[in-house]
Structure 1
């Protein structure tokens, strides 16, 4: 119990005294994997909250029409709320759409409503359709240390917009049998975007999620991923944890829902690793 309480205080950082290093310049990270259910949204929300609680200024852009990142941060995203669709299609300035996340200083979210479901088709005929999101983020007057873009589980125009807006790709990989299937397709698409649209794009971070220590399979997948991606794979691994799954139903991240849980500790350690890498490499694009 005492250990859990200590972990909770470390994660919630009520005094604001403990900080994670800030990057030398803004890091725009696209959280992508076209396989559904691998923990993209959970990863986006929890890393954003952990970094914001420890002195970084963070913006989350919800680019998934399901709006799960908006739900996880308890940001209104019902029909009629100004959202990322307005930025992409009507070029509404992003600062008019971004909402401060309640209870978490330094954290803002650009929500997604169901309107976004039609954006994929509407963008087809729009001028400079791939760079709409990038321009909207660049036009934001507030300086952020991190911008996390939560992508839909597909490789359509919304994901292409995210890849064009970002300098880095963070890929969550589930520690299960089908995890590596489809990854080649994602990497090919990233390389195509890099070659034709965004030469600064780099797969900088791989995070292993839903790790079950009791199975040999999880261990085998971890070894495969580490052998293939090397240094890009974070040392921290996210375990299967009931608290992580429960948190969104309360409109919270696991950081605030149960800061003493293993899930919260793991995401906190992953955020710390990302912050330390960013400060160390001077954020190579």
Structure 2
């Protein structure tokens, strides 16, 4: 009877929910049915597991990784020409590029359990980002200042000239006697080159400014020259400088030139003598066996 009530209740429920269907339930024997008691068992029906619902969701990305080196830098600054020569400094460029890659994993998510699952294999994505770069550079800015000029040696131009105070005078020397005359008021023209220069204050390097220019001046010099005496004969017995003495009484000859006795000999009749390659002659009688000395 209990089973019959449950069956009737189920039939009433089904009739409401599904009017197009009919439910036939065999009766067990106590109620006039043909089936043994206990043959029909009606158990409560468990709720069915609903179907999964997946939707595409945000991909999963890896970290961006640099590929290769930085490139494309062009606006390096400051310029080496603005920095002191030889000094090392940091130069920076702000327009450089860096290639990067990452992995992208497509995913979907179950709407009820919120579980994620991958869609296919990971793919690679690439991009190029703007970066800065720094490098060590040496300055090239030079600072030049005027330096001492570079001079050449003074070189004589032409011969000595302008001499006027030659001494001793030829008329003061015995005739044809060779000697050196000296002048102290002579002049000598000279020239040299002057090269203007400048110096770099850091490296201390020199460089020329323009072409060498000539410089000239005139200096006072002494000069000497060979000469010959012009006095044909000289005599000065009072100071015993120059004389020719010939004595017939003692048959004696003495010749004094410039205060020096250059010849003693007998045979007073000699009228010429040669001393050290110079030929001296007896000149006119002055007095008392004293004669002029001539050359």
> TM-score normalized by structure 1?
0.14
The structure where strand makes up a greater share of residues is 2
The structure where helix makes up a greater share of residues is 1
Look at both structures and tell me which one has the larger radius of gyration over its CA atoms. Answer: 2
Which one scores higher on RCO, CA 8 angstroms, separation ≥ 6?
Answer: 1
